[in-house]
Amino acid sequence: MPFSKKLKQLLFSRTKKTNWDGLIEEYKTWLPVTSKTPIITLKEGATPLIKVQSISNRIGKGVQVYVKYDGLNPTGSFKDRGMTMAISKAKENGCEAVICASTGNTSASAAAYASKGDMRSFVIIPDGYVAQGKLAQALVYGAEVIAIKGNFDKALDIVRELSSKYPITLVNSVNPYRLQGQKTAAFEIIENLGNAPDWLCIPMGNAGNISAYWMGFQEFFQAKKATQLPRMMGFQASGSAPLVEGKSISNPETIATAIRIGNPVNKEKALLARKTSNGKFSSVTDSEIIEAYKILGKEEGIFCEPASAASVAGLLRLKNEVPKNSTIVCVLTGNGLKDPDCAIKNNDSVFHTGVNADINSITKIIGF
Ligand SMILES: Cc1ncc(COP(=O)(O)O)c(C=O)c1O
């Protein structure tokens, strides 16, 4: 490659990084915004697509696996992609308060973007089933947090009713602007790879994200920015797998609390994504999730939350079905720091405690 072309590419990629103004600014021609929309942003998006050799090696067959590390968004999850859109549109429509039901990440994201947009936020969570980091975020970002004696599905029923009766905007993924923002992750993947992957592996809870990705892949395909569409491979935890079992689950249970959802509101959209992409939905056990979570941490230096690891666990479960030489992207939806309790309980590392503060004791431990 001639030197000047190389230099141009280098300068272009640098410029893009330092001038990143958030995904609405970047993709505004693809989003339902106008010059009148006030853009409420924390510079979300542009998250890295990382090659994970340890997972590729476990599959073999020349397969290349990448993770889309969306846990590096401003509040540590993919929800920020949808929230910048939902809150910007709420602001445009003169709204002063937002509400959501949440397994944790939506509440953190809604609270942060509502504060940025100078609005109040109310979040309803299942008492005792939200990871500590997420609760801490919602509180610090200034939400009013209401923990109910009931699960996510119950919380969602309540916020849907409240938002239909009172002037408060619902920012769960039933809000169509959420999915519009989230579809941009598919755009970024196509731009990074130069095409869509063969498989997109993704955890499913309410199934908004898989629907959003599918919308994004289709839009770029229709615009000829990609020459193929991926198979949409959705994964749920086995104790909480309504889309795999084809029925609602009244008492969903899993270590992956973010996807502890028994009655997904975006079910129809997700089923359509599966059908039109020739995709597949499967479940993974909590121990498969934790195994994938540990591999990513220990062998790749990537700390994701348990729900996110379901995408990699699912891929490993289906490894015999993976076509030779294919390119696969697994979505890591949330950051591992959100759930420190899970991390402390589930690792294979050695943790020496109460060690004397002298060099001899430590030398002995290190083994010199
Ligand atoms: C970390 C994480 N992964 C996956 C999901 C599932 O996303 P969706 O509800 O859009 O299927 C959630 C939803 O809360 C989440 O927080």
Q: What is the pLDDT of residue 157?
A: 96
The answer to whether residues 68 and 89 belong to one domain is no
Q: Position of tokens 């402390």?
A: 344
Question: What number is the average pLDDT over the span 113-125?
Answer: 98
pLDDT by residue (tens digit) across 121-157?
Answer: 999 999 999 999 999 999 999 999 999 999 999 999 9
Final residue in a domain of this structure, among 175, 198, 230: 175
| 106 within some domain | yes
Domain boundary, last residue among 141, 175, 209: 175
Count: domains in the chain: 2
> Residues 72, 335: contact at Cβ < 8 Å?
yes
143 and 235 both lie in a single domain: no
Entry pTM: 0.94
Pocket of ligand 1 (CB under 6 A): 77, 103, 105-106, 173, 203-209, 258-259, 305, 307-308, 333-334
Structural domain boundaries enclosing 132: 79-175
- Pair (35, 161) in one structural domain: no
246 with 300, same domain: the answer is yes
Q: Is the pLDDT of residue 220 over 60?
A: yes
pLDDT at 1 over 60: no
Note whether residue 219 is domain-resident: yes
Same domain, 165 and 136: yes
User: Based on the domain organization, do 324 and 195 belong to the same domain?
Assistant: yes
Query: Which residue's structure tokens are 């916020």?
Result: 159
Q: How confident is the model at residue 6 (pLDDT cuts 50, 70, 90)?
A: low
203 and 151, same domain (yes or no): no
Q: Cα separation of 124 and 144, whole Å?
A: 9
Together in a domain, 211 and 144? no
Our mutation pick for probing the ligand 1 site, out of 69, 77, 134, 304, counting the most ligand atoms within 8 A of Cβ, is 77
Domain CATH number, residue 149 = 3.40.50.1100
Residue tagged 């059908």 (tokens)? 275
Give me the pLDDT at residue 19, please.
Answer: 85
Which is the closest atom of ligand 1 to the Cα of 211? 10
Same domain (yes/no): 34, 136: no
As a whole number, the mean pLDDT across the chain is 95
Let me know if residue 269 belongs to a domain: yes
The answer as to whether 316 is a domain residue is yes
Examine the domain organization and report whether 115 and 262 are in the same domain. no
The candidate with the shortest Cα–Cα distance to 229, out of 199, 187, 192, is 199
Is 320 found in the same domain as 228?
A: yes
pLDDT tops 50 at residue 12: no
Query: Are 198 and 230 in contact, with CB atoms under 8 Å apart?
Result: yes
**Cα of 130 from ligand 1 centre, angstroms:** 13
